[in-house]
Amino acid sequence: MNEIFEEVRTALYSVWHRRWLALAVAWGVCLLGWLAVAMIPNTYESKARIYVDEGDVLSDQLGIAGDGRDEITKVRQTLLGSVNLEKVITSTELGEGISERSEMDSAIARLSENVRVESEQDNLFSITAEVGMSGLSDSQNAVLARNVVQKLLDIFREEHISGSRAEISSAIADLNDQLEERKLELEAAEERRVAFETQYPELIGGSQTLSTKVQQSRTELRDVDANLAAAESALASISSQLSTTPRTIAGGADAVGPQASLLRVQSQLAELRARGLTDQHPDVVSTRRQVDILTRQVAAAGPAEASGTPNPAYSSLLAVRADRQAGVEALQARRAAIQSMIASLLASQASEPAVAAEANRISRDYDVLRTNYEKLLEDREKLRTRGDVVDETSQYKFDLIDPPVVPQSPAAPNRPLLLIGVLIAGIAAGAGVAYALSQLRSSFATPGKLERSMGLPVIGSISLTVSETAKALRAKRLKQFAGAAAGLVGVLVILLVIEIVSVGTIA
């Protein structure tokens, strides 16, 4: 540790012993460095932020949208292509003085390095341009940076609108080709389905439809059974009432014979036919059944009953029973028809499984083709509608969040930091030169260093005795050195002030 401390003391003494040389080197390095910093042109940065929501018409319409990872790549390709960068150069001051193709290529390469397209958030991008031409003033460079970003935005807007038009036209053409193919396939499927249904009408819709029909028929059969049970119960009830009700009653001046009910029903039947109702009409069928029942009852009635006065209650109950009996017979006929249908459907389902499977396949293929065809038709109409308004059909939804503005201060270089860095480098260079020169001389700063170098013991050392005149001269030179060093720092302060003032005056 003592050796390290002694080495540090030796180095500091060596530099201090040659301080005028170190100061001279520092002045020289600082002046050259500050001159180089002053020659560096200011670079101005302009920035714009845009919201780009990718809405690829093919992806939206056909359902093949990607994961959105390549949005930034598409934006970069749109903006940083050599053709677009050349448009920027030729339309701004960047293209002044360029006449050769090689010069244009070099300008494009430089501009591509100074333009950045970065993703800040999802679908939010920033476009940044840095401009620093040595032949232009600071205010001109600032305006030029803004113009470059604005031109890039204009190009992007034009490119994505024209690109959308081309993409929509291409998408419609592709959809037309696909529609034509799907149309032929759908027509062929329709022909196969019609031919199959003509041969097997009970399998229309496939075996699944056949199972559905069986299930529906069984449900209907359960309903008919329930209604039939209720009708039979009602018929039994009215028959029980009828059996306890006398057919005729004694007395009555206006009494008629037992044929009264029959005549009344026959009159009703004649009236129905006079209205033009056919024999298959439900009212005619019901009335005829009542006529048949009453005819059998009149035939079975004796002469006494035939000459007695009919009981109105019995006649009413008789008419009600006839109506309910007709309802029971209709439900029984319906039940028999449903049972026959179920048996036929089950027989078809069990006897021809291969035909049922073929019905399923034909029905499934037809439904898939029809669904795809209708979907393509819908997609094409949407594209045609969107193509009528280009701004609404563009590939991107383009929103300018922050427009480019003229920068008020240079983005680079950081001149104050560079000026301070040059001062530090100058001081370090002066100290380094002084220390290196001390290593070339054969003098020793301390007795310990002399002892280690010679390998012999040092008996003693004699300190330097300075006269008053020498002390005065040394103090004078120390003040001169301090003034020269302060002058170096003063020059740095002046340069920093000039830099701050010049930056504040940029319009």
Amino acid at 416: P
Query: Residue 58's pLDDT is what?
Result: 41
Instruction: Give 50's DSSP letter.
Output: E
Determine the Cα–Cα distance for residues 10 and 445; give it in Å rounded to an integer: 6
Query: Residue 471's pLDDT is what?
Result: 78
Torsion of CA 131, 134, 135, 140, to 10 degrees: 40
What CA–CA distances, in Å, run from 429 to 160, 422, 423, 441, 503?
Answer: 56, 10, 10, 19, 30
Query: Residue 493's pLDDT is what?
Result: 92
Element (H, E) at 397: strand 396-402
Query: Residue 30's pLDDT is what?
Result: 93
Under-70 pLDDT residues of the chain: 1-3, 6-7, 53-78, 159-170, 196-197, 199-211, 246-260, 301-311, 345, 348-360, 383-398, 441-453, 464-466, 503-507
Query: Residue 212's pLDDT is what?
Result: 73
Cα torsion 448, 450, 454, 457: sign: negative
Residue 344, Cβ neighbours under 10 Å: how many?
13
Nearest to 156 by CA among 91, 58, 70, 87: 87
Query: Residue 390's pLDDT is what?
Result: 45
Start-to-end Cα distance in the chain: 59
Cα torsion 320, 321, 326, 331: sign: positive
Query: Residue 27's pLDDT is what?
Result: 93
Query: Residue 379's pLDDT is what?
Result: 75
Tell whether pTM > 0.85. no
Yes or no: say if 130 and 94 are a contact pair by the CB < 8 Å rule.
no
